[in-house]
Structure 1
Amino acid sequence: MNCKTCDYSIDAVAKYCPNCGAKIVDERLSLKGTWEEFVGPFFSWDNNFWRTFFGMFKNPKDVLEAYISGARKKYFHPFSYIVLYATIAVFFYKFFPMESIMEFSDGFSKGFNTTKSPKDDLKIDMKSLMESLMGYYNFLVLSLIPIYSLTSYLVYYKKGHNFFEHLVFNSYLQTNLGFTSLLLQVILVNYFGVAFQTYSLLFLVIFIVFTLYALKKLYNQNLKQTLVSGILYVPLFFGLYLVLLFIITILIVIGLILTKI
C-alpha cells in the first residue's frame, strides 16, 4: 500500500511512513481515537510540547539548535509554539485579570484628566487603553519577537547565526518565559496577592537571567563573556522595546480618539 500523505510505497504492517514520517492511520474516528489523536498527546509527558518546555531549562542549546539543524520533529515548531502561547494568554487574562493593573490605570487616567482644563476635549482613559492592549495581546507578543531577535543578533553577531535563526531562538526563549509568567502570576499575584510592581521587577530579573543563561549555553560562554553580553543586551533591548511600545501606544491612542470623533 501507499502512504496517504506522500504516496510512498510502504509495508502493510508499517506504523509510520519511512519517507515522510507520517503516522499510518487505518481506523475510523472514535471517541477513544479522537482523544488519543488530539487531546492525549498534549497531556502526555512524553510529547513535543513538554519536551520543548522543560528542555529549554535543562538543555537549551539542544532545543535552540534542533530546528535550524534540520531536526524539526524532535521539538515543538518554534513559531507554532509562540502562537500557542499567545492564544492561551488571551484566554488566561480573561479568567485571571491583573486587577492591580486596571486599578493603577484607572487612577492614572483620573489624575491625568483632572489636570486638564474643562475646555480640553481629549480625555485619556488608561483603563480602556490597557484593555485594548490586552485585546491585541497576540499582536503584541508576535511584534516583540523581531525586537528580541534583533537584539540578540546584534549582541552575538560574531557567533555566525543570521537574523532569521535568531527569530527561531527567541521564539523558543520568549514562549518559555511567557508560560513561566502565566504560572507565576497565578501563584504570586492571584493567590498570594503580591503587588504588580513587585511581580514586574521579579519577572524582569527572571527574563534577563533566563535569556542570558540560554544564550550562554548556546554559545558555550564563560561567566565573564556572559556578563559582557548582558551589559550589551539589556540596554539595547530596552531601548528598542521602548521605541516599539511608544509607537504601538500612540497608534492605539489615535485609534481610541478616532472612534470617539
Structure 2
Amino acid sequence: MNCKNCQTELSEHDDYCKSCGGKVIRNRLTIKNLFVHFSETFFNYDNTLLQTFISLFSKPEIVIGSYINGTRKKYVNVVSYFAIAITISGFQLLIINKYFPEVYDFSIESMKGQADFQKKNMAVLQEYQSIVMMLYVPLYAIMAKIIFFNLKTYNYTELLVVFMYIQAQISIASALLVLVLALVGLSSNIIGMAMIPLMILYAAYCLKRLYHLNLLDIIVRTLFFFVILGIVMVIATIIMLGVMYLNGDLQEIFEAGKKAAEEAAKKQATN
C-alpha cells in the first residue's frame, strides 16, 4: 500500500505516512467519518477547543506561552483558534440580524441622522468584521511594545501571537454573551457598555500573568494603555470626521440635529 498523498510505500499497520505525515485513510467516505475529519481539521485534532477556551480564562500564560515556546499539540493553535473566533462571530451576527434585529436598532436611542449613520457604520463593521479583527492585532501588539518598553520578554512577532489569542478569546466570549443578552432583550448600548470594561480587564489579566507582574504594576501599565488609546482614538476620530465630511455624512448629521431641534421647539411652542 502506498501513501495517497506522496506515494511513499507504507506497511499494513501504519496510521500516518512516515514521509509526509499524512493520515492513512482506509475506509470509504461516510457522513460519520466526514464529520470526524471536519472536527479534526476545524478544531485542531483531538477536539481541544473547549479545553483551550477554558484554559485561556484559567491559565492564559500556559496556553499562550506553550505555543510561543513550541508546544503545539495540547491546545488549539493560534491561527486555528483565530479562524474559529471569526466563524463563531459570523454565526452570532447572522443569528442576531435574523432573529434579534432590535439589538442593533438605534432609531429609538438616537435622532434620525445619527441612527442612520450608526446603522451604516454597523453594516460596514459587520461586512468587514474579519478584517477589523485582524487589524486590531498588530495595533495592540504595537501598543504593548510601547507599554512594556522596559521588558524584553516577548518580541513583536510573539506579541502578535499573544493578541491573536486574546482577541480570539474575547470575540468568542462576547459572541456568546451577546446572544445570551439578546435573549433577555438588552439593547446594543447596554451590551457595548458591559463588554468594553470586560475586554480591557481580560487583556490586562492575560498580560499580568504572561509578564508575571504584580497588581500595582499592571494597574500603572493599564493607565498608560488608556493614555495611548486616547491618542489613537483622537487620531482615528480626526480621520473619521474627515472621511465623513468628504462623503457628506457629517452634513447629514448636522442637518438631522438642526431639524430635531426645530421640531422640539415647535412642540414646546404648541404646548
Q: Shorter chain as normaliser: what TM range?
A: 0.7 to 0.9
- Normalising by structure 2, what TM-score? 0.74
Cα distance 1:5–1:40, how it changes in 2: closer, same or farther (>3 A)? closer
- Residue 55 and residue 19 in structure 1: after superposition, are their counterparts in 2 closer, same or farther (change >3 A)? farther
| 1:176-213 alpha-carbon deviations (Å, 9 max, x no partner) | 0111111111112x112223333222211211111111
Aligned match of 1:117: none
Answer whether contact 1:48 1:74 (CA < 8 A) is retained.
yes
1:49-64 aligned within 5 A: 49-64=49-64
The answer to whether the 8 A contact 2:16-2:23 is kept is yes
The structure-2 alpha-carbon separation of the partners of 1:254 and 1:8, relative to structure 1 and needing over 3 Å to count, comes to farther
> What does the per-residue CA deviation read over 1:122-162, in whole Å, with 9 as the maximum and x for residues that have no partner?
xx744233212221111111111111111222212413311
Instruction: State the alpha-carbon separation in 1 of the partners of residues 188 and 7 from structure 2.
Output: 55
Partner amino acid, structure 2, of 1:218: L
Q: CA deviation at 1:103?
A: 3.1
- Please report how far the alpha carbon of residue 175 of structure 1 lies from its aligned counterpart in structure 2 after TM superposition: 0.7
Matched length: 246
Structure 2 stretches lacking a partner, 5+ long: 250-271
Match of 2:38 in 1: 38
Deviation larger for 147-156 or 14-23? 14-23
Identity fraction in percent: 27
Q: Does the 8 Å CA contact 1:147/1:241 hold for their aligned counterparts? A: no
Equivalent residue number for residue 130 of structure 1: 122
Asked if structure 2 preserves the Cα contact closer than 8 Å seen for 1:105 and 1:126, the reply is: no
Normalising by structure 1, we get a TM-score of 0.77
2:172 maps to what in 1? 179
Q: Give the match for residue 134 of structure 2.
A: 142
Unpaired stretches in structure 1, ≥5 consecutive residues: 114-123
Partner of 1:116: none
In the other structure, the counterpart of 2:202 is: 210
Question: What is the alpha-carbon root mean square deviation over aligned residues?
Answer: 3.4
Give 1:82 deviation, angstroms. Answer: 2.0
**TM-superposed deviation, 1:247:** 4.2
CA contact (8 A) 1:147 1:240 kept: no
Query: Rg: which structure is higher?
Result: 2
For the residues of structure 2 that align with 1:256 and 1:8, how far apart are their CA atoms?
64
- Residue deviations 1:84-138 (CA, integer Å, cap 9, x gap): 322332332122137456432686462469xxxxxxxxxx744233212221111
Asked whether the 8 Å contact 2:85–2:168 carries over to 1, the reply is yes
